[in-house]
Amino acid sequence: MHSMTLPAPEVDRPGLPPAADPHERDGRRPSTLPARPHPTRSSQHMPADPTTLEALRRVIADQIGPRSPGAIYQSEAGGRFEVLAVVLDPESARALLKRRGAQWALIVKDVLRPASDPVAIGTAWAKGDYLVREGREARPCGACSGKGGKTVDTSSDGVTRKHWQTCGICKGTGAAR
């Protein structure tokens, strides 16, 4: 063992191999390779393919299941809910659920707790769910076009604020009274 105060003895060791070129430029050394292409986001939307739109409609219909306004269903988690409105407008559903990918939402009320407030949900129909009462085929409310309300934008000073305002005519159900 060598001393901690004396210099270490010279040992013949091979040098470290040269560093590999990075796959992306980080500015430390020039690269002869072009930069890796990254996807670009386009602000313009491509026209929707009718086949894709029909497939999306079917998926949404399967996720909503037999829940329509007026229906009462028992969830597999044990809750019992009355469907007040089905929101099929993606922008309104995203505002209600605060999820970027939402395509639909349900506004439901817990019938086991009479004092509960209506709440927006986006849970898909599960195998363990079942209908207690079928919904009624209702005409859409003329004031809100069946949406149950509207998204109100109160943005100011660079801060975006959006909230859901329930329709006063149909009380958020989306059905004409």
Where do the structural domains in the chain lie, given as residue ranges? 51-137
H helices present in the chain, as ranges: 50-64, 90-97
SS (H, E, C) 43-90: CCCCCCCHHHHHHHHHHHHHHHCCCCCCCEEECCCCCEEEEEEEECCH
Cβ atoms < 10 Å from Cβ of 155: 9
Residue 173 CA to residue 72 CA, distance in Å, equals: 14
Which pair of structure tokens corresponds to residue 90?
Answer: 């993606």
Give the phi and the psi of residue 56 in degrees, each rounded to 5.
Answer: -65, -40
Answer for the pair 101, 122: CB distance below 8 angstroms, yes or no: no
What does each C-alpha distance from 121 to 86, 98, 104 come to in angstroms? Answer: 10, 10, 9
The reported pLDDT for the residue numbered 155 is 80
pTM of the model: 0.53
168, amino acid identity: G
Rg, the chain, Cα only:
29
Listed as ranges, residues in the chain with pLDDT below 50 are: none
- In this prediction, residue 1 carries a pLDDT of 58
137 Cα distance to chain centroid: 28
Q: What is the pLDDT of residue 27?
A: 61
Return the bridge partners of 119, or none: 108
pLDDT at position 140: 76
